[in-house]
């Protein structure tokens, strides 16, 4: 069985981290209503880095 740290999985994680958030996935990850997720994505853009940073600051 392959280790989770294989080069292929690391590359897949990097690609996934660069993909924009889907409102449904974002709402499920943070436990917020889909309508709120759509509003946040519209305001801050679909960048995973920006949205994760926003949610981290919001939860702090």
Q: Burial, 32: exposed, middle or buried (Cβ in 10 Å; 0-12, 13-18, 19+)? A: middle
Task: Answer whether residue 43 is part of any domain.
Answer: yes
pLDDT grade, residue 59 (50/70/90)?
Answer: confident
Number of independent structural domains in the chain: 1
Task: Answer whether residue 9 is part of any domain.
Answer: no
As a whole number of Å, the CA-based R_g of the chain is: 14
Write out the residue range of the structural domain in which residue 34 sits. Answer: 20-59
Task: Answer whether residue 7 is part of any domain.
Answer: no
Q: Is the dihedral of CA 52, 53, 54, 55 positive or negative?
A: positive
Enter the pTM of the model: 0.71
Task: Answer whether residue 24 is part of any domain.
Answer: yes
Say whether pLDDT at 11 is over 90.
Answer: no
Model pLDDT for residues 43-55, shown as the tens digit of each residue = 999 999 999 999 9
């Amino acid at each position: 069985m392959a280790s989770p740290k294989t080069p292929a999985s690391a590359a897949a994680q990097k690609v996934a981290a660069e993909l924009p958030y889907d409102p449904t996935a974002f709402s499920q990850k943070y436990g917020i209503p889909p309508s709120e997720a759509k509003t946040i994505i519209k305001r801050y853009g679909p960048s995973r880095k920006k949205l994760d940073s926003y949610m981290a600051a919001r939860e702090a």
